[in-house]
Amino acid sequence: MKVRFDMTVRQKTVFECLRAPHAQDFLLAIPIDGLGQHISPVEYHTILKYRLTIPLYPVDAICPVCRKAYLDSFGEYAVHCKELPGFKYRQDMVRDVLFDICRRAGISFKKEAPVNFLTDPLDGRSTFRLADVLVFGWVGGKHACVDLTGVSPLVWLSSQGFTVGQAALKAASCKVTKHEKACIENQHVFIPFAFDTFGFLAPEAVELLNRVQRVMHNNVMTPRSTDVVFKRIGFAIQKRLAAQLVARLPPTTV
């Protein structure tokens, strides 16, 4: 018997994203309350549905958080909704986990460091922004300004020739354009830490985490735990995404 199975554009795109390096790291993270590595059954089921393109919301349901737009059934609007909870804290949670990893590895750093030369284009040149993470003496004795940003790869669904990771790569490139020159002029190094909702990490983020992993391995870890850094970062990405999705589920679902 011949069976024809056709996938939608969204399904094909998502399954490609799930095959990317580090997209599955969070599944191997060991539940540890002290590290914040715990997630409720509802959050876990919701994340799996989002990643397997299983509908989450009724068609044409109003977003219960912002009450300004309709939810799509697969949760893409929920990922981009800028109302609380979730959107503005997604990268903050990843930053906090990176902060904790560096602290445990014995790396000298500061979170939300005022460097007095990074500017936010939305606020104008007179407003200085903080470095998400400032790592002291990271590259050739120079301090490194690490700037985190999270994106959804599905914003590229309407584009021709989708490539896994292109949304994160573009976000990293934009960050470099905005901030690298200012960092160089002030004897600092700029590192964009871009990731997407499925766990893809831009090369700069992978390079940073690999080096942090080596430091941690030398200082506090056993050889059997060589990928714990990536697991923790992957878990943080999915946990905050779950909060955004669950906050908009119908009451009968939660």
Question: What domain range is 132 assigned to?
Answer: 9-246
Query: What pLDDT, on a 0 to 100 scale, did the predictor assign at position 206?
Result: 95
Q: Is residue 4 part of a domain?
A: no
Q: How far apart are the first and last CA of the chain?
A: 40
**166 backbone dihedrals φ, ψ, rounded to 5°:** -65, -30
Q: What global pTM score does this model have?
A: 0.87
Domain-located, residue 1? no
- The pLDDT tens digits along the chain (254 residues) read 666 667 788 888 899 999 999 999 999 988 888 888 899 999 999 999 999 999 999 877 888 888 888 888 888 888 887 775 544 556 788 999 999 998 888 899 898 888 888 876 555 554 567 889 999 999 999 999 999 999 988 875 655 677 888 999 999 999 999 899 989 999 999 999 999 999 999 999 999 999 999 888 887 755 555 688 999 999 999 998 998 899 888 877 65
Predicted confidence at residue 87, as pLDDT, reads 47
Task: Answer whether residue 189 is part of any domain.
Answer: yes
Other Cβ atoms closer than 10 A to 97? 22
pLDDT at 197: 92
Residue 41 lies in a domain: yes
Predicted local distance difference test score (pLDDT) of residue 7: 78
Q: Please report whether residue 2 resides in a domain.
A: no
Residue 191 lies in a domain: yes
- Pairwise CA distance, residues 208 & 104, whole Å: 16
Q: What is the pLDDT of residue 63?
A: 85
Q: Answer yes or no: are the C-beta atoms of 204 and 133 closer than 8 Å.
A: no
| Cα 118 from Cα 180, distance rounded (Å) | 9
Q: How many residues would you count in the chain?
A: 254
- Give the pLDDT confidence score for residue 1 in this predicted structure: 60
Q: Has residue 253 been placed in a domain? A: no
- Whether residue 198 lies inside any domain: the answer is yes
Q: What is the pLDDT of residue 202?
A: 95
Question: What is the number of structural domains in the chain?
Answer: 1
The pLDDT value given to residue 34 = 84
Cis, peptide link before residue 58, omega less than 30° from 0: no
Which amino acid is residue 232, in one-letter code?
R
